[in-house]
Amino acid sequence: MSNTARVGLFMLVALIVLGIFIVKIEEIPIGTKGGRVSVKAIFPSVAGLDEKSPVRVAGVRVGIVESIALQGDRALVTLALDPSVVLHEGATAEVTSLGMLGDKYIELYPGKLSGPRLPRDTVLTGTSPVAFDELMKNLNDIGGDVKSITASLRQSLGGPAGQKRLDEIIENIRQLSADLKGAVEANRKSVDATVGNFREFSETLKTELPKIAEKINRLADNVDSVVAANRENVTESIANIKEISAKLRTSADNLNEISGKIARGEGSIGKLVNDKTTVDNLNAALKSAEGGMESLKNTLGRTERWRLNINIRSEALPQLSGHENSRSTIGFDLATSPQRFFRLEFVDSPFPRVYTSTETRTTLYPDGHTETTSQAIVKTSSTYSVNFQVGYNYSNTVLRAGLFESTGGIGIDQTLAKRKLLLTLEAYDWTREVKPPHLRFEGRWYFNKNLFAFGGWDDPIWSQRSSYLLGAGITWGDEDVKYLLGTAAAAAPR
């Protein structure tokens, strides 16, 4: 098979794969998804949600976000749902995410299955999650409340007034212990008097009614037994109360000791209550933590604004003979700001890199004299090389500098026709031995944001390597990659 036929076959396969990518990325309805139904929902905020974000019901992907528009001070979102999704009365939508830092998507709640179906022109009511800034504000409010409580505790326990309150509490505990002891003593006398009355009553009954007296005597004996048993229990209870009173006294002493340490500024709480420096240090620590959270929020915000574009292109160089007559490139552009980006690409070039080195040999003869000879050695490397460049955007003009096919160079890009036409001039390999530098002119036309074709002239000043070029390629951004990965995961067998 000739080289031209190989290039043609490669381009055919590339276009077929490109078509599959376009169908997947652009979500062109095919087959069972051909009759998707559009449903509108209105949200207070859709921060982080993009077009083509998934729509799920119970975690199952059932459609995509078709468009996002502003309606007054709220967001109007159009959803493209599969025909199998049926919405009932009470259906709602919610913006949520996969995990704390996961991608945003819309969770759809279709309502009760027993309810009536919603008309097609019904606008759903949507809810949005709590924003990160609002969460930070709530944390700041909580920190303020903690500072207020600490200040109140210092005012209540600090100084002579706090000491007086603690003394009153301890005195009340002591008075309660004394009253409890007096009540126990009063009950013991009452029990003894009651026993005496029962004995006198039993003697009277024995004198006047012998038969009854006998029974009463038995009853008296039983009462004596009960009283004796209860006396032991009461004695035991009183002992327990005395033990509790002793423990309360010990606790009161401990409270006095603790309050004294606090008043003298001893210990962590004492320093917190009495030492102004400690309070200032605590406030400074809280402010530092607040600054750290703000820095973390700014860092996450900058990373979220980065954009990644992946590029694949292949070209044919029909005028080359005796060499491979095609070039292929795969890589990505990382935009860290609206004006700056970094480009890393791997290139399969038709020409290897040529290096010339000089090898010197010195020969020592038996008679003692030496002869030195020099020989030029030509070495070649593989055809694989790297592009690593930094670029800056100036309106419709882009300046690039860095490595072009593993050699230093510069490039300039100019966009025309509403960014559908891109003109490029590159100059690199300034140190090659034959007619430096390597020049490259290229004009690229974008059919849409993902598919493009290009043509131009490669290395025009070196006739042996000069050739016009024709090629095509695809490019897609990080949002397209996330959407394509989500589609592949949904289509994978379970």
Place of tokens 């292929």: 328
Is the model more confident about 240 or about 252?
240
Q: What is the mean pLDDT of residues 297-317?
A: 77
- Selected residue with higher pLDDT from 87 and 218: 87
Angle at the Cα of 348 from the Cα atoms of 346 and 352, rounded to 5 degrees: 120
8 A C-beta contact, residue 396 and residue 418: no
Residue 411: predicted pLDDT: 96
pLDDT given for residue 2 in this prediction: 72
CATH number at residue 85: 2.40.30
Q: What is the mean pLDDT of residues 270-275?
A: 60
Cα(355)–Cα(46) distance, integer angstroms: 57
Domain count, the chain: 3
Per DSSP (E only), the strands in 178-267 are: none
Q: What CA–CA distance (Å, rounded) separates 213 from 226?
A: 19
Please, which pLDDT band fits residue 331 given cuts at 50, 70 and 90? Answer: very high
Say if residue 334 is in the same domain as residue 465: yes
**What Å distances lie between residue 489 and 98, 395, 482, CA to CA?**
14, 38, 11
User: Are 237 and 326 within one domain?
Assistant: no
Domain final position from 98, 129, 160: 129
Same domain, yes or no, for 405 and 438? yes
- Is residue 166 a part of any domain in this protein? yes
Residue 3 lies in a domain: no
Cβ–Cβ contacts within 10 Å for residue 83, how many?
11
Residue 300 lies in a domain: no
Q: Does pLDDT of 463 surpass 80?
A: yes
pLDDT confidence tier of residue 176, bands split at 50, 70 and 90: confident
In a domain, residue 27? The reply is no
Q: How confident is the model at residue 482 (pLDDT cuts 50, 70, 90)?
A: low
Q: Helix, strand or coil for residue 479? A: helix
How far, rounded to the nearest angstrom, does the alpha carbon of residue 307 sit from its chain's CA centroid? 17
Per-residue burial over 188-205, b = 16 or more CB atoms within 10 Å of its CB, e = otherwise: eeeeeeeeeeeeeebeeb
Domain contains 138: no
Look at residue 75 in the predicted model and tell me its pLDDT: 92
In a domain, 150, yes or no: yes
Token reading at 249: 């006294």
Q: Is residue 321 part of a domain?
A: yes
The answer to the question of residue 264 being in a domain is yes
Checking if the pLDDT of 287 tops 60, the result is yes
Residues 265, 313, single domain; the answer is no
Q: Which of 242, 264, 281 is the last residue of a domain?
A: 281
To 10 degrees, the CA torsion angle through 79, 311, 493, 66?
Answer: 0
User: What's the whole-number average pLDDT of the chain?
Assistant: 79
Strand 54-57, strand 354-364: pairing: unpaired
What is the domain extent for residue 396? 307-491
Helices 267-274 and 132-157: crossing angle, nearest 10°?
90
In this structure, the answer to whether residues 110 and 189 fall within a common structural domain is: no
